[in-house]
């Protein structure tokens, strides 16, 4: 079963962001692009490297109208403690969502019941709240924020230009392809 075009279920979670706690709901993510970036747990090993990488690209994501939501099954209190204790995490300005019940992780099928943790998954969600791209990988392999940004940009392009597709390694400004019968077998 695929999660493509899966619409996020209604949710309300606590978040830690900019030295404050606040709630994030499904209504908050509608109307703009979002990346839900799941990771297994705070105070671990690969996770801080990924979250720091995302933090370094946060302004690039914001510039294209995309909010980043990092998500683990820790509480918002644990997010704050990690933020206060780790120089990599202290750089984060995007919302760190707390999913201690695993509701978001289960909705996006990245919850590991045996471990009680989210798997390492990222989900690109369009302004209607639907998943348009996702990846779930082994918990011992980190992801690349540059590639995730490129996938958001490509997803935005095809969302706006439904008659065109983006070839491999497409970057904004590169040529796209307009699928036609004449191109079958020619590429």
73 is catalytic: no
Look up residue 49 and give its two tokens.
């490297």
Strand, helix or coil for residue 169 = coil
Q: List the catalytic residue out of 47, 66, 73, 166.
A: 47
Which residues have a catalytic role annotated? 47
């Amino acid at each position: 079963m695929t999660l493509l075009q899966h619409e996020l279920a209604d949710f309300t979670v606590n978040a830690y962001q900019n030295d404050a706690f606040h709630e994030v709901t499904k209504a908050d993510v509608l109307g703009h692009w979002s990346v839900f970036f799941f990771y297994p747990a705070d105070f671990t090993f690969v996770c801080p490297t990924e979250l720091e990488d995302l933090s370094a690209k946060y302004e690039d994501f914001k510039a294209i109208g995309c909010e980043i939501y990092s998500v683990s099954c820790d509480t918002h209190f644990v997010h704050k403690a990690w933020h206060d204790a780790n120089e990599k995490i202290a750089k984060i300005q995007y919302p760190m969502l707390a999913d201690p019940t695993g509701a978001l992780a289960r909705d996006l099928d990245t919850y590991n019941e045996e471990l009680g943790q989210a798997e390492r998954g990222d989900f690109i969600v369009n302004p209607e709240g639907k998943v348009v791209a996702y990846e779930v990988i082994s918990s011992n392999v980190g992801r690349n924020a540059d590639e995730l940004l490129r996938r958001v940009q490509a997803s935005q392009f095809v969302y706006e230009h439904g008659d065109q597709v983006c070839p491999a390694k497409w970057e904004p400004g590169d040529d796209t392809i307009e699928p036609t019968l004449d191109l079958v077998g020619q590429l």
